[in-house]
A and B are shown apart, each in its own frame.
Chain A
Amino acid sequence: MRPLSYARAADAGAAIALVAGHPEGAFLAGGTTEVDLTRQDVLRPGLLVDINHLSLDGVEDLPGGGLRIGALARMSDVARMPSVVDRFPMISQALVLGASAQLRNMASMGGNLCQRVRCGYFRDVTSPCNKRDPGSGCGALDGFHRGHAILGVSDKCIATHPSDLAVSLVALDAVVHTRGPGGERAIGIDDFFLLPGDTPDREHPLDHGELITAIEVPAVPVARRSVYLKFRDRQSYEFALASVAAAIRIQDGTVTGVRLALGGVGTKPWRARRAEAALFGQPADEGSFAEAAQEELAQATPQRQNAFKVELAQRAIVRALNTLTNGDGR
């Protein structure tokens, strides 16, 4: 690992000023991605500003049933909070199905949204990678890409967004609150993740020195009956090949509300808006679920090795909706 400097700021304002004032400055929260990738020489921070002792780890109930989750709350703590388990089971399940117990104890909620892709070419500094080294090419397109994305891809990058948590947050229209040198702002979660396009190196609309302070989850009554299903090569401690965050409301056999998002298949956490639109007003049966899933995946751009994900994602959607409609919604 390259030499680096370290500071603990007295408060959020000082932390922001320290990072903003150093061209190679970066915030350090749980460090589970950052320390790893710095050791791999993929990230090269000259100054790490430790924010772990800042008071940004609270979780508050919002009037009406929403939640405001501090950016430094840890994955393991949020996963077991009764307010999360009861009102947003898909968030709790997504958290518990991610990483390992040790990593969940370390990793922060804000950091989870900023985690970097697991593409082997991104992680290997001797390989071409447009995300790590713009203009150098993409090793995955003609290389090994079994785990790569089929939605939201470009000819510059097909790396899969790795977060489980973010998939549930995208389904729920969460809002990312930030504070930076220019003040505070709120970014809709879908806008927080950028498609790779021609600039895969730019993953978020954050400015240098802009700090995530909280994640706001609005009240979503349908989410009380929600699920996060994850399909992967190993039973545990593995990233998704495909995953689904789903919630559904049915009245008199008809779908009157639905939230669907996909993980493991997109270059960003993928809100399945086409499937949602296709389901609304339809009979809540497996035929409708399958048609909606097909509608969503019709826009997929698979590569040689990951074409299986098209059907896997469709089946995952159907399984999730069947799970919710055939009995207990957990």
Chain B
Amino acid sequence: MSTDVVPPPALRGPQPAAVVLSVNGRQWELRLEPRVSLLDALREHLGLTGSKKGCDQGTCGACTVWVNGRRVLACLTLAITCESREVTTIEGLSADGSLHPMQSAFVDRDAFQCGYCTPGQIMSAVALLEEGHAGDDAEIAEWMSGNICRCAAYPNIRAAIRDVRDGDRGAAGGER
């Protein structure tokens, strides 16, 4: 839910119309058709190709981003509906070029093979910890079930999440 007061804009589309998006703390003014998904806006219009297009039908979770801090699927979100909301992608997870602890944990735990699902896994994993659903491996598996990994790196993904949950993400890295 947006908490901002939205001025009532006129009917827009089907032709491209001005759409203002806030992504990773930066404002962008785009011209988008209303049918453009948030995922396509990010990838094709803003060049933010971290969010991946796996299924494009809400099944795989590779496009997981945050809207107003909540993990959602960018492929089933129309970009125009995100006006006055804050969008966060994997590119905005950490500032100044350093890795977020979850990114480091994925590296240390080798929590991927091909890497295609990884940005979505990480955006989901960070949200998972904030939601408080990482009590044990069964709970992690249940609450990460919206992110499919066809390389089946699940045990290592869970290990990475456990590491960050337990705060033992040091420079030395976790045990392999």
Q: Which of B13, B70, B127 contacts A5 (CB 8 A)?
A: B13
Give residues of chain B (57-100) contacting chain A, Cβ–Cβ below 8 Å: 57-58, 61, 64, 70-73, 76-78, 80-81
Contact with A along B1-30 (1 / 0, CB 8 A): 110001011111110000000000000000
Decide yes or no whether A299 CB sits under 8 A from chain B: no
Given A106-B73, A236-B141; A6-B1 close (CB under 8 Å): no
Distance to closest chain B CB from A213 (angstroms): 16
Q: A27 → chain B, closest Cβ, in Å? A: 12
B78 and A6 form a contact (CB under 8 A): yes
Which of B33-41, B104-112, B155-163, B167-175 makes up part of the contact surface? B33-41
B17 to chain A, nearest CB (A): 8
Cross-interface CB contact of A101 among B9, B33, B77, B131, cutoff 8 Å: B131
Does A48 contact B56, Cβ atoms closer than 8 Å? no
Q: Does B153 contact A (CB under 8 A)?
A: no
Closest Cβ of chain A: how far from B105's Cβ, in Å?
A: 19
Contact string, A261-277, partner B, CB cutoff 8 A, digits 1/0? 00000000000000000
Shortest A210–chain B CB gap in Å is 21
**A254 close to chain B: CB less than 8 A:** no
Residues of A in contact (CB 8 Å), total 37
B11 touches A106 (CB 8 A): no
- Closest B residue, CB atoms, query A97: B142
The residues of B that contact A2 with a CB separation of less than 8 Å are 35
In contact, A7 and B12 (Cβ under 8 angstroms): yes
Q: In the complex the two chains form, is B81's CB within 8 Å of A102's CB?
A: no
A52 within 8 A of B: yes
Complex CA gap A163/B141 in Å reads 22
- Given A52-B1, A101-B146, A106-B76, residue A36 in contact with residue B11 (CB < 8 A): no
Q: Are B145 and A8 in contact (CB under 8 A)?
A: no
Q: A237 at the A/B interface (Cβ < 8 Å)?
A: yes
User: Hey, which chain B residues are within 8 Å of A14, CB to CB?
Assistant: 8
Shortest Cβ distance from B57 into A: residue: A36
Question: How many residues in B have their beta carbons less than 8 Å from beta carbons of A?
Answer: 40
Known: A3-B14, A101-B131. A50 touches B81 (CB 8 A): yes
Asked if A125 lies at the interface with its beta carbon under 8 angstroms from chain B, I say no
Residue of A nearest to B73 (CB): A102
> A65 to nearest B CB, angstroms?
27
Query: What's the nearest-Cβ distance from chain A to residue B169, in Å?
Result: 22
Is A304 in contact with chain B by the CB < 8 A criterion? no
| Closest A residue to B2 using CB positions | A53
Asked whether A32 is an interface residue with its Cβ less than 8 Å from the other chain, the reply is yes
Residues of A within 8 A of B12 (CB): 5-7
Residue with the highest number of chain A CB atoms closer than 10 Å, among B1, B56, B133? B1
> By the criterion CB–CB under 8 Å, are B8 and A9 in contact?
yes
B11 close to A101 (CB less than 8 A): no
Instruction: Given the known inter-chain contacts A106-B77, A236-B141, please indicate yes or no for A3 contacting B13, CB distance below 8 A.
Output: yes
Quote the shortest CB–CB distance from A266 to chain B (angstroms). Answer: 24
Contact for A237 among B9, B72, B145, CB less than 8 A: B145
Asked if B71 and A101 sit within 8 Å, CB to CB, the answer is: yes
CB within 8 Å for A236 and B35 given contacts A28-B81, A102-B73, A105-B70: no
* Contact between chains at A5 and B58 (CB < 8 Å): no
Considering only residues 6-45 of chain A, those with a C-beta below 8 Å from chain B are 6-10, 14, 28, 31-32, 35-36, 38-40
Residue A305 at the B interface, CB < 8 A?
no
A4 interface residue per 8 A CB criterion: yes
B145 touches A35 (CB 8 A): no
A35 near B14 with CB under 8 A, answer no
Q: How far is the CA of A154 from the CA of B33 in the complex (A)?
A: 41
User: Once the chains are docked, how many angstroms separate the CA of A39 from the CA of B76?
Assistant: 9
Determine whether the beta carbon of A53 is less than 8 Å from that of B1.
yes
- Decide: B142 and A35 in contact? CB cutoff 8 A: no
When the two chains form their complex, are residues B146 and A102 in contact, meaning their CB atoms are under 8 A apart?
Answer: yes
List 6 interface pairs A-B (beta carbons < 8 Å), by A numbering. A6-B78, A32-B58, A36-B57, A47-B11, A76-B70, A236-B142
The 7 A-B pairs of least Cβ separation, nearest first, read A100-B146, A3-B14, A6-B34, A236-B145, A237-B145, A5-B13, A105-B70
- Known: A5-B11, A40-B57, A237-B145; 19 extra A-B contacts, CB below 8 A, are A2-B35, A3-B13, A6-B11, A7-B10, A8-B6, A9-B8, A14-B8, A28-B78, A31-B77, A32-B58, A35-B76, A48-B34, A99-B146, A100-B147, A101-B127, A102-B146, A105-B72, A106-B73, A235-B141
